[in-house]
Amino acid sequence: MARTRWVSDTRPPVPVPASLADAVSTGKPFAGADALAAGLVTRYALRVRYHAIFPGVYVAKGEPLTNWDIIRAVGMWTPSDAIIGGWAAAYLHGETSYSGERVRGGIDVFTAAEPRPPRGIRKRSLRRPVPDEDICQIGGLRVTTPARTAVDTARWIRGEDLRICVIDSLCFTTGTSLDAVAAAAGRMHGLHGASTIARLLDACDAGAQSPQETLLRLRIERSPLPRPTSQLEIFEPTGERITIADLAYASAKVAIFYDGRHHRDPDQWRRDLRITARLTDLGWQVVRIVKDMTSDEAMRHITNAYTRAQNRPRA
């Protein structure tokens, strides 16, 4: 695979396949044979102005390419039975915490065909066909569904916590339930790692909005504290919703928030202050965890808040 200039591409665009003529004129990936047959390029131009990033698939020399461009180019190279999976599928489904970077390490393709994949493509040989329930289409490409993608990406990486974070991230991003992931894992019975992922699902939370939130929840669950409720809605006495706590102990009135980067925005920061003030007025212990806190520091704040709530005189 020729050297490719990547550009910042943190969120996938809506995939709109360009026409062959558009792809050639803008330097995006195109099938060389099709462009020659259509008279859009000459063999001399193909050799001088373009280079092959995969066999038979060309782009303009020096053209920076996004993740979507590379995935589309892979789709042009792959056999007709191919299914895009792994991090590339996660990226196409909109997962943003991991896939944007990891897809650059190589694109996974399920196929029963025999061609040797070029550099940049990992062929995942099929012991049995991917079930129809686990295949969808995005931008003209056959792609594993979010549930199947969650199982695959998790089983192909190491580390229990990372696997849980990846499953949580894909489920939250795509609105996929853990039941759907369990069903996909069940259809993969006998495949390497599928049963391991199925056993992890009890520790997952499809409502977790970030890997940091997932890691915080796991740390709490492994402590002497009881398991918190995730994504708890908290209301005014009038019934108007005040906020949704990332994690909470409803009966003890402890609300825990993981404040990520977007909470540094001045408007969001002011909203957070108002929410904290209102919850405090209503008798809640409010804990706000930020990135720079150590794990021990975060747990100390949460434990102290829970202890204060438990020792509070009851009305």
Return mean pLDDT, the chain.
91
Supply the pLDDT for residue 2. 44
Supply the pLDDT for residue 315. 58
Residue 143: strand pairing partners:
84, 136
**Residue 35: what residue type?**
A
Which contacts of 248-254 are long-range, i.e. CB under 8 A and separated by 24 or more positions?
A: 249/306, 249/309, 252/285, 252/306, 252/309, 252/310, 253/282, 253/283, 253/284, 253/285, 253/309, 254/284, 254/285, 254/287, 254/302, 254/305, 254/306, 254/309
Supply the pLDDT for residue 128. 85
Supply the pLDDT for residue 116. 85
Domain boundaries, the chain: 1-67, 78-203, 211-311
pLDDT tens digit string along 117-176?
Answer: 999 999 998 778 999 999 999 988 999 999 999 999 999 999 999 999 999 999 999 999
Q: How far apart are CA 303 and CA 249, in angstroms?
A: 12
Name the phi and psi angles at 229, rounded to 5. Answer: -85, 140
Q: How far apart are CA 135 and CA 54, in angstroms?
A: 24
Write the Ramachandran bin of 255: left for phi over 0, alpha for psi from -120 to 50, otherwise beta. beta
Residue 279 sits at the vertex; the CA angle it makes with 275 and 281, to the nearest 5 degrees, is 120
Q: Is residue 3's pLDDT more than 70?
A: no
Residue 76 sits at the vertex; the CA angle it makes with 72 and 82, to the nearest 5 degrees, is 95
Mean pLDDT of 294-304: 95
Supply the pLDDT for residue 123. 93
Confidence of residue 13 (pLDDT cuts 50, 70, 90): very low
Judge whether 206 and 171 are in contact, CB under 8 Å: yes
pLDDT tens digit string along 224-270?
Answer: 999 999 999 999 999 999 999 999 999 999 999 998 776 677 888 89
Q: Is residue 24's pLDDT more than 70?
A: yes
pLDDT tens digit string along 38-67?
Answer: 999 999 999 999 999 999 999 999 888 999
The residues near 124 (Cβ < 8 Å, ≥ 6 apart) are 85, 86, 108, 109, 110, 111
Residue 281 sits at the vertex; the CA angle it makes with 278 and 283, to the nearest 5 degrees, is 115
Supply the pLDDT for residue 16. 42
Confidence of residue 112 (pLDDT cuts 50, 70, 90): confident
Q: Is residue 84's pLDDT more than 90?
A: yes
Mean pLDDT of 257-286: 89
Confidence of residue 113 (pLDDT cuts 50, 70, 90): confident
Longest dimension (CA), the chain: 86
What is the percentage of the chain residues whose pLDDT exceeds 70? 93
Supply the pLDDT for residue 263. 63
Q: Which has the closest alpha carbon to 71: 151, 133, 9?
A: 9
Confidence of residue 4 (pLDDT cuts 50, 70, 90): low
Judge whether 224 and 260 are in contact, CB under 8 Å: no
Strands 57-60 and 135-138: unpaired
The residues near 177 (Cβ < 8 Å, ≥ 6 apart) are 171, 206
Mean pLDDT of 73-78: 94
Mean pLDDT of 72-88: 94
* 80 against 276, higher pLDDT: 276
Confidence of residue 220 (pLDDT cuts 50, 70, 90): very high
Q: How far apart are CA 212 and CA 209, in angstroms?
A: 8
